[in-house]
Structures are given as structure tokens and as C-alpha cells.
Structure 1
């Protein structure tokens, strides 16, 4: 019987080879994530109505509290963006940009939007609060000088205040109907995704606050017009202890005083704006609540009231002087005078001798 002597180095080499083979079988390379089907789509050819839109006809829709998910379509990410308007301007100046996600300090641009892919727009998760803005082309509408034309609230409607109703083919067409309205200032519209009904109204969440008209509705989208002109307002600021805004529209640094903060809020393009004070900077955010007075109407009403009071006082004074003058000029008959004196003496009035 032959005896085979195996060197220890050979045994060690065999073990290394076996371990390496085992590692190759057990450790698999990471599987790459599947690329979305729409990654290779040329969005400029899919959306020529937006990409070829005239600059003055480009419009934006704001959706508060929602985030758009399309990683393959992300064009750019801009940290340090402190104003929503700056984020919107980036998309406006980028021909390929069709939508943005914005949260305080971060602006993300996309080459697609939520209308292309239903279900891609979801509620933002606490504590992150995101604003989604979509670019539209409202070619038949008058120009609007606001950062966004409409604020869109999905699953809600403003009931009982419809002034006109029409059947349209898209949400954007409903927005155009509102912007073109001339019989009354259109402040909002309800669009039904299932039927295409478009109801426009001269009321919005601000003017109808406290009425309970703003309520959930299936297949409905509430569109609030941000292009409508509002009168100058005198707002009441209420301090809220222990609260902070999660996401804001604008951040102003090195503000000197609280009064300067309020002044910035009153002159902002948002109709209502809570404020957060601290570390010499302020933040402004659009809101749907607040106590505001129409200052022009208040001054006009006070002026009319004062003029009416003055007219009443002058008229009453003139009537009183006329009656007094007529009584003084009226001659007294002797019989009346004698009778009056007799009554006076009979009552105990002392006679003069």
C-alpha cells in the first residue's frame, strides 16, 4: 500500500480555494433597482404644451403638504433655498422642469409631474412638510403676476357658493374659466375629476371661513385663485406660544424688529401669513385662517357715518333755530296775555307794586 505524504502548504492552498468558491456562491452582488418604465421618455415631446409654452402663459399650481416621488426624473437639487418663490423661478427658467418639491431650505426640480403618473403624489410624512408645485400652460388665460396662479386642495370642495357651472375636459381648463370670468371676481373653483364639472365662485376659504362650506368631497379638487386682487388689509397678529412652523414660504434674515417682521408679512404676496420670531430672522407662510379687516371699506364706512351724523346735527340745529325764531316773532294777543298773568298770580306768584 502506497503512502502519500501531503505538504501542509498544499492543504492550506486547497482550503483557501474552497473558502473563496464558497464566498462566491453565498455573497451575491447587490441587485440594482429596476429602472422605471418612463425613464427614457422624452418629456419635451410628451408635454409640448408646457415645454413650448410662451413665458407669459406659464402658470404654477401649489399643493400644500404633498410630495412628488419620481427619483429617475430629478433634474436638480438646490439646498439652501430659503424662499418658495426662488424655487419656482428656478423651474420657470428651466425649460425641462415640469414640477418641484420644496421644503424649507431645499428645492428639487423634476422633468415630469404628477398628472403623468397617478399615485406618485403622496402626503408628506411628519416631521417633514413638503410643498409640491406643478408647471402648467394656461394659453387662453390672462397673464398673472403672482408666483403661482392656483392653490390646489385634493379631495375637498367649497359648497353652496357656486355662481357658474360648465363641463370641461381638464383641471387646467377649469382654472382658465375662472381666470376669464368677467361678471364677478372668481376666487375659486371646484373641479370634479369623474364628471368634468367645473363650478366657479366669488368665494374662497378666506371669505367663507367659519361657514362650514369647505368640506371633503370624493373625486373633487378645490382650486383657489391666487391671481385675484384683494383690497388692502389691516391684519390682527396673534402670538402663539410654544409653536413653530414646519415649512415656510419665505425666510428673511437679520430683521431688526417685530414691527419690521409684521410689515414684511403685510406686504408679502400671500394673503395670510403667520410669523415665527427668533434669532433675528422671520418666516412667512400662507395660511387659511386669520382675522382681517378691509381697511379701505372700514375707512369709507367711518367717513360715511361721520358725514351722516354731521348732516343730522346741522339739520336738527337749523330746525330748532327756525322754531325758536318763529315763536319769538309770533305776536301775543291781549286776552292771552291777561289770562296767562291771571293764572300766574292765582298760583301764588308775588305781585310787583
Structure 2
């Protein structure tokens, strides 16, 4: 039986290889898989290694694999600028061996006829992600991945920009091609980043690349978010001696792929330019790395925002392109009625701010030429309750001078250097009964987190330890709240069903021989009034097993969720049973135990900046204290100035000490020499001893005083 399965895999590989090999050269393209790669046990061969000072090798790797008929796919390692190729296709059950790796991109050959497209790859696939809502067209039956992508390419009724693919566990066996439900959409994650989130690995997100050619014509993207002291780790092309403007022009005009952003790094008096086909919205802030002499610029959708200035008010108006039910408020004043406005669909949202009072964080700054700036920082929050990665920070203001009112404009300044802190609460079930633990871990490293950033991909884990099979668990009434419970949002209702898939998905149960796990992948979010997010959940125990329920959605589980347990061996994974947590028809017995669990973490904005704040009296705010995180905030230039001043004081003190010691030593030597000569002259009756006043008698007996 095992031999038959092996021969079947070989036969499938031969069929897929033949399809690609027989493809006309003009129709041979690539699909890019992000964050996932085949296991190294498949022994890939070296395709290309970067030369000296070469960083971006994507195009060279693609060209080499394209010209090599035996190359079915290859993996690009961004951290080492090398790529390795595979001779056989990796499909079906073989995908269970694939490994999560955020430092790679996996390029697979496909045979698609795509006219008028010069891109080096046609689709991007993001495993474990989905675009919530925006289901423009739901296809009636199940399709393979290739069939789903072809439907998107051939769609005539609308411009298909992306597709969602949900694998159906009951549609394929160990010897069959993977199939699933295909949903087409006329938007993508770049147009509505707030709808793009992490999901289970039975969900996959496809994005068509060639449809991005009309972005600029549609006016979708017109600006760049700036990240100071940071670069993106995934570099596709690098250029030498290019400044910021030249690099931006290269990003705007490149035809080989859709440039999502660029980095500029100062080096030895010159600038290096890096172009990126990815951005921080795919894998969150983890793709950004700190670089003291670098700046990263990311393409961002345009905002229809206008500002009107009068002598007493500044009015900010936002005209959404799509349905907007979020909030628009001044940073730090989200709860004051005069400082925020709520969205109501596609209608214009207007925020009227008083310039005469000190409310809503409006700061007044007076320039030497008698011009006055009245401005502040505004946040555009797409969700009415919590901040997510797709939210925008906008600087708004008015400049007054010479009896005229001038719009200061809007701009976005973002840095990503989160401060880490110790865990606040990590509650574990204790005492008699089962041992249950709730924790939040990084989705890729599986390390517990206590401090994170908005948009980082996380995993909530509820674990029943030392399971002997006598009990089962499920969880409901999951609430996220601030530290003082002034704001809260219900993530899972009493039945364990999600209330908002855009924020938090349903729990998935994983059963092993020793533990039972409830897991859910989500992106970090926070409340506008506090960086502290407290999770509270009720865990309920059932004898033997808990009956499933239907939450009103098709949420079939998939064996591909086993990829999330990368720390376990493949043999252990094969022995794992996976089901979905469903519980609406559960009969609540009073004898069943319930246990509350809590977990607290700090979620920071990825767009906090360290710019100076100029007060109305001309003073500069250089320091402050954060009572929540117990941190002292200090202006960087002041910090450097204090260090230099301290060093100068120490140098001056040392120099003064040296001068004083030398002068004292010289004085001491002089005094010692004088005393020595005086004693010597006294002993010999000359010198200083003969100069004493005395009476002299001459021969004529006359007496003179000398």
C-alpha cells in the first residue's frame, strides 16, 4: 500500500511537470507564496547566490528558473540572498511537510495566459489569511487553486483583484488534488487593509498582480507612509547612489512587479535604494527592522480629506470611498464628544475643532515671522471600537499669518520601535481540578508575548494540560477590555461564536494524546484610550467530549491546521485529530465546571513618533512620564546634550584638578628650596643669616647701626 502511494505521488508530479513543461514560453508564469516554503528534507539544489554587495536577487532567480525546464519551483531566502530550486511539484498531502518561514518567498511555475501583463509573477498567495467580507462573486462549486485563479483572470463582469480560497476537508483525500470554495472580489488588501487579517490555514488569499496597473489611473494610491530608522527585510531589487526622489521614481515606474514600497539607506556619503514587492501589511511589523540610517516608504491609499480653516474653528471632512462605520478623533481625546466624529456609511464625516480652547490636543506654535500654527494629530479608525493595523494617523492644522488662513496640510510620520515590558498577568488554573492555561503567542515563533504592536499576527491559546481523556473543553464569552474595564468588546459570545470576524475568528480545537488546545489566529488590536488589552474568557469542561454546534457559517476544519504546530515532529502531527469548536446546541449542565481565565498584554501603536512638541509660550516639551508603562520619555537631542554636558563637566573638573596639583607642586618645591638654602647659610654664617640687624664698632669707637 505504501509503495502504491509513493508511485501515485510520483505520477502526480510527472503530470504536473508535464503541464508546465509543455506550456508555451509566453504563457509560462509564476505564483508567489508568501511566508511558506517546502521542507528542506526534499533536498533542493542551489539556483543562484548573491555576489559581493548584491542584495536583491529576485529577478535573477526568476530568470534562471524560467530558463531551466527542470525547475518547477524555487525558494528565495531574503536574509541570505540565495535561492534553491525543486525538480518536482509539491502538492496535496505533501504540503503537510511545508514549513512557516517569514524570511522566504516560494515561487511556483504556472501556465496562465495573461495578455498585457509584464509582471514576473501573476498571483501572490498568502496562506493562513483572508479578506473579511467583500464577496463580490461566490463560485457555485469547489475548484482547485489553479481553477480559482483562472476564474479570477477570466472574470468579465468586474475587475477581479483578489480571491479567497477555503479548503474543503471532505473534498480531497490523500491521493487527490486539494479543492475548496472560491470567492472573487473587486478589492484587495491594499485598498482595504482593515479587512485583511490572519486566519486558519484552511484559508488562503490570492491577489492578482496585473490588476494593479490601473491603481494610479484610478487614483487609489497617491502617497507614502514614512517609517523613520527602519527598512523592510524583503528586498527584491537594489540600486546604488540613488536618493529618495530617484528611488521613489524607480518604484513608481518599475514594470516587472508591483512596487509596494522602497527603502533609502545612507552609506559612506551615498544612498542605497531598495525596492520591495511586499509591505508591512502582510506579516505585520515583523518585516520591518531597525536601521539607524535608513528610512522606509510604503505606498498607502489616498484619503479624501479636506480641511477648512476659520478664525475660530478647523473643520476636517472625510469622504469615504467605501462604507465607513468607524471613528475620526484627535489622538488622546477619543472619549470627548467634541473631539471625535462617527461614520455612518458612505456619507461625509465632519469633525469641527475649536482653535480658541486647548481642547482636543490642538497645539499653538508661533514662528519668528508672525505666522501661527494651530494643529494636532488625528486618527482615522475604521472599526468603531478598537484600533487595527489599517488605521491611519494624520497630522492636520492651519497656518495663520498676514490676515490669511493657509492650510498646513496632512502628512503621515510613522516609526516602529516598540518598547518591551514584562507580563502583567498570566493567570493559570490552580488548585483541584484540571490545569488550564491561557496565553497569547507570536504566530510564527510561538513565543509568549507581553508587549506587541498593532497588526502583529498573534495566536490565542487555551490549553488543557495532562489530559487523560476524561474531560473536554470549550470556551465562550471572550471579552477584550482596557485595564480599568472602561472600554470592552465581546469577541466570542456565550456559545463560542465570533461576533466580528474582522477582529477575532472562531476557536479551533486540536486534540493530542496529552493536551487539548483551543487556538485562534488574530492581529493585535488596541483601544484608543489605553495600550493595555485584557482578555477574559470562560472555559467550560465536559465529560469525555463537548458536542459541536453550528454558528450559522460554514466553518469546516482542515488537517492543514497542523502546520501551526511546527515544534512537533511530523509523526506526532499525523496522530492528531482536529475538529472545530461549535456549541450552540450544548445543554448547560449545572454539574459541569466552569473556569475564568485572564491574560493581559500591552499593544503599542506602530506609528508613535518622537517629534518635539512646541508649546504656545515658545517652550519645547522635552520630557514626560508615562504612568501606564512606568517609563520616562525624553527628547533625543536633550538626552545627547545632557551626556555631552556631563562629559564636559568631567573634563573641566579633571583639568582643574591637574592644574591645581601642578601649581601646588611648584609652590611646594619653591618653598622647600628656600628653606633649605636658609638653613644652609645659617650653618655657614653667610647669606641670609648675615643680613640680620646688628651693631658695628669701628676703630674711632664710633658706633653705627647696620
TM-score range, shorter chain: 0.5 to 0.7
Structure-2 residue corresponding to 1:281: 272
TM-superposed deviation, 1:294: 9.3
Larger radius of gyration: 1
1:208 aligns with 2:192: yes
Is the Cα contact below 8 Å between 2:47 and 2:61 reproduced in 1? no
Correspondences of 1:1-353 after superposition (within 5 Å): 44=14, 47-70=17-40, 72-80=42-50, 82-104=56-78, 105-115=81-91, 117-124=94-101, 129-138=103-112, 142=115, 144-166=117-139, 167-194=141-168, 196-210=180-194, 212=195, 214-228=197-211, 229-232=213-216, 235-255=222-242, 257-268=243-254, 269-279=257-267, 280-285=271-276, 286-287=278-279, 288=281, 290-293=299-302
- Kept in 1, the 8 Å contact 2:190–2:300? The answer is no
TM-score scaled by length of structure 1: 0.64
Secondary structure of residue in 2 paired with 1:266: helix
Deviation (angstroms), 1:138: 3.0
Listed as ranges, the gaps of 5+ residues in structure 2 are 1-5, 172-179, 282-297, 305-706
User: What is the rounded CA distance, in whole Å, between the counterparts of 1:239 and 1:294 in structure 2?
Assistant: 16
Q: CA separation in 2, counterparts of 1:182 and 1:46?
A: 28
How many equivalent pairs are there?
A: 252
TM-score for both structures, normalised by structure 2: 0.33
CA–CA separation in structure 1 for the residues paired with 2:45 and 2:120: 21
> 1:206 and 1:265, CA in 2 relative to 1: closer, same or farther beyond 3 A?
same
Rounded Cα–Cα distance in structure 1 between residues aligned with 2:25 and 2:44:
22
- Residues 266 and 294 of structure 1: is their aligned pair in 2 closer, same or farther, counting only changes over 3 Å? farther
Mapped to 1, the partners of 2:23 and 2:303 lie a distance apart of 37
Q: CA shift at 1:277, angstroms?
A: 1.9
Note closer, same or farther for the CA distance 1:203–1:89 as it changes in structure 2 (3 Å cut).
same
Displacement of 1:44 in angstroms is: 4.8
Gaps of 5+ in 1: 1-36, 296-353
Q: Distance in 1 between matches of 2:137 and 2:208?
A: 15
Contact map agreement 1:160 1:213 (CA 8 A) in 2: no
Give the corresponding residue for 1:27: none
The answer as to whether partners of 2:47 and 2:65 remain within 8 angstroms in 1 is no
Question: 1: distance between equivalents of 2:17 and 2:199?
Answer: 31
| Bigger share in helix | 1
Could you tell me how far apart the structure 1 residues matched to 2:162 and 2:183 are? 8
Kindly tell me: are residues 52 and 106 of structure 1, through their superposed partners in 2, closer, same or farther at Cα, counting changes over 3 Å? Answer: same
Cα distance change on mapping 1:132 and 1:276 into 2, 3 Å: farther
> Alpha-carbon deviation of 1:53?
1.3
